[in-house]
Chains A and B, each alone.
Chain A
C-alpha cells in the first residue's frame, strides 16, 4: 500500500504554470534587433536550456511543496503476541471500598482503583491487543467498543473508579461481553477478563444461553475475584446445608464457569499485590501469536521538494546576478 500522495490535491492544478520559464525568461531582454547578431555557440545554448529547466524546476517544486506531498507508509503484516480481550468490570458500589471493606482513607486504595491501575498497566504492556470494556451492575453497560485505540480504551478504564451503582448482575454483563467478542476475528485468541468483588446468582435461563454462547465463541475466561476481608471466597466449601447458589454465590459461580468447558482460570486476590500477580499471570497466559498489521508512519516529502526548489532558485539567482548591465539606457525608457 505504498504510494505517493498529496494533502491538498487542487494545488496541483497550478503545476502547468511551471512551463512558464520555457516561454519567458527571468533574464533581461536585451535590445539587439536580431539574435543572429551574436554568434551561435554550444555553451550559450546549454546555459539557456539549463536556466529554463532551473526555472521550471523551481516553480514545479514550489507548487508541489504547496500541495504537501508525502509517501504513504507501507503496511506490514507482522506476527506478535496479543489477543482480543474484553474487560468485564464490576461497577457495583462495593468496588469503591478497600479490600478491608472500608471507605478508602488517606493512601488506601479502593478495589476499583487497584483494578484501574493494574488494567492500565496491562493495556500499556500489550501493544497488539484489541480491547473492549464492559461494565455491569444491575444492568450491563457498554463502556467502550472493542478497538486497538489505546487512548479510548484507557479513557474507559480511567472512569472505573468513579462511584459505582447498585448490585452485581454478572449474567447480563457476561452476555454483553460475549456479544462484543463474538464479532471479533476468528483467528485471534480471545479472552474475557471478569473483574469483580462479588458474585451473583445467574438466572438459570440465562445460564443455558451463556453456556451455548461461550462454547460457540471459543473464548478463554479469567475471573479476577477481588476478595474483601471476611467475605466468602471462591474456594471456600461451606457446610453442605448452606451450599446453595444463594448462600455461596462465589463458589457456585466458579462451579458454573468450570462447567462451561472453556479455558477458565479463577484468581482470588485479597489485596493489591495479589491482584497485581494475578494480572501478570493473565498477561502471561494470553500470549499467543497473532497476526497484526503495522502501519509505518508516512514520510513527508515537503522538505525534499522545498530543497529542490531552493537549489533551483539559488542557481537562478546566481545567473541573474551574473547578468551584464546593458551598455547604455536609451532615452525615453
Chain B
C-alpha cells in the first residue's frame, strides 16, 4: 500500500528560527527537469532588515568567542553535514540534475571546505597579523578583526557555493545575511537545518530565499551592514548598482569574478572582510 509522504515547508532562516516571509509570498521551485519541488519563501525588504538585525545582534557574541571555539563550531557544521550527507546528495541531484557521483563529490567538497575553514579560525591572525618593528620604544601589534555584518549573494552552485561563501565569513568572526541561489534555494534551507543543529548561535548565519535583484539593493544600502559579497551576482548592471549603493556607508565589497569554486580556496574570502587593528604602547621602566 502506498503512503502519502509528508512534505517539508521551506521557510527562511533568521536569528536561528525558521519564519515564513513576512510578505506571505512564495515562489515555485522546480527540479532540473521542470517538476515541482516546493514553494520557497520569497523574502521581502522587511525580511532582509530583520535578518540584518539578527546578524548585528549576534555579532558581538560570535566575534568575542575564542578562535578555538569558533573552530570547534565550524568543525561541528562539517560533522553534522557529513551525517546528513544522503539527504544532501538527493537534494543536490534534484536541484541540479547532477549524477549520484557528482552529487556525492559536491557534498564531499562542501564538508572538506568546512573542515579547512574550521582550522583557519585560530591561524588567520598569525598569518594576517604582525608585530611591527617601529623605530622607537613602542610595542606595536597588528591583528585582524572581523568587519561585522556581511551581506552575501551566494552563487548558484547549490551546496558547495553556499558553504564556500559562508564558511570563511563566520570562521573569522563575521555574521552574515545570505541570499541563497534563486534557482536552488531548497538545499540552502536544508543547510540552515544543519547550522541550527551545529552549535552555531542564532543570527550568525541568516539565509533568505527569493530574488537577489529585489532584496540585494536593500542589503547593499543598509547602513548597519559592513560588507557586501557579490559572488553570486551574474548580472553586471546589478553588480554595479549594488556596489554603488554599498558606498553609502563604505561597505567592504567583494566583486563578482570568474572563479572555480571547486578549486582550493585562497585566503581572500577571509581577508576581504577583516579589518586590521594596530595597537601601540610605549615601552619603558
- Asked if A and B are interacting partners, one says no
**Chain B residues packing against A (C-beta within 8 Å):** none
